[in-house]
Structures are given as C-alpha cells and as structure tokens.
Amino acid sequence: MNKDIKKILIGEEELKAKVAELGAKITEDYKGKDLLIVCVLKGAVIFASDLIREINLPLDIDFMAISSYGNNTKSSGVVRILKDLNMGIEDKHVLIVEDIIDSGLTLAYLVENLRTRRPASVEICTILDKKERRTAKLDIKYTGFVVPDEFVVGYGLDYAEKYRNLPYIAVLKEEVYKG
C-alpha cells in the first residue's frame, strides 16, 4: 500500500466488478442508440477507459475539461470550459462519465450547457457519489458507490494532482494535507 494512504475504501476487485455491472446496464439501456461518452478530464479518465471496455455497443468518446471557480474545497457552480468537445452532439445520446459528484454544481452546469446543443438525451454516470454534500438538483442515472464525506484519492481522483494512478479508492493520512 502507498505510504500516504490511511485506509482503502474500495479495492481493485470491487471496482472492477462494479464497472462491469455498470457497463452491462448501459449496454442494455443504449442498444440501438447513437451513444456518445463524454469523459470529464482529468479525474474520470481511468473510470471511463475501464467502463467503455465493458460496454458492448458501438460508441463515440469525447473529452471535456472544466474548472469551477471558487476555492479548492468548495465549488461555486460557475464553471469555465477549459477544453470543449471536438464533436457536435446534436441527436446523440450523451452519457457524461464523472469521477465523483460532490455538491453537484459543476455537473448541473455541464448538463445545462450540453442540453442547449440539442442532443437526443443527456445522462450521468459517476463512479462515486458524495451524496450527503449535494446542493444542486441532479438526476444521476448510474452510480458506482456512495461514499462518506471524506476526501478520497485514487482511480483517477487526485490530491494536488497526485495519486490518480492508485488502482483503488483510498483516504489519505492527515499529515499529507498538513504537509
């Protein structure tokens, strides 16, 4: 185990099984539909790359990078698009793939923004949901795990851009934050 880790919340095998289960559901739900996976950079990269290999359908993938104004611990709901999609989404069934939903403000903005581009549908798939911190109204179609209000890293999620490559979801030791 990495020396900065206090405890593992969700292990590799558990992640793998859940991603397979989500992929199977998505395969059922999107049969015959023009599916576009929108991966939100950077956190969702690991999850999205595992998930698309569990979806047994033809699909497109595109990337978006967004940053929310505000401080590091609270998002304000005002979102800046750092990298927009390369492709148009008109008449496509868009599935946004996210690492974690906290307040939900970032995603609420993103969903509204994408809806103005006239897709056939927009839904959300997140591997983690910090449900107790939700302030925005958001319908999440696919959720991997509900997690407690603790700062987590790994499987794409970072602390100061590090730990994204850990193969599990973990809680950091306090001394790592305090430096």
d(CA 117, CA 94): 11
**Helix (H/G/I), strand (E/B), else coil: 154:** strand
Cis peptide before 6 (omega within 30 of 0): no
- Asked if 119 is part of the footprint of ligand IMP (rule: CB under 6 A), the reply reads no
The nearest distance, CB 73 to ligand IMP, in angstroms, is 9
Token pair 């599916």 is found at: 35
Catalytic residue among 102, 129, 149, 158: 102
Amino acid identity at 86: N
- Asked if 104 is part of the footprint of ligand IMP (rule: CB under 6 A), the reply reads yes
Ramachandran area for residue 53 (φ above 0: left; ψ -120 to 50: alpha; else beta): alpha
The only residue of 157, 166, 169, 170 in contact with ligand IMP, by rule CB under 6 A? 157
Residues that bind Mg ion (CB under 5 A): 43
Q: Which option in ligand IMP, Mg ion, none does residue 105 bind, with CB closer than 5 to 8 A by kind?
A: ligand IMP
60 is known as an active-site residue:
no
- Asked if 129 is part of the footprint of ligand IMP (rule: CB under 6 A), the reply reads no
Rounded to 10 deg, the angle between the 45-52 and 12-29 helix axes is 60
- Asked if 15 is part of the footprint of ligand IMP (rule: CB under 6 A), the reply reads no
The nearest distance, CB 3 to ligand IMP, in angstroms, is 19
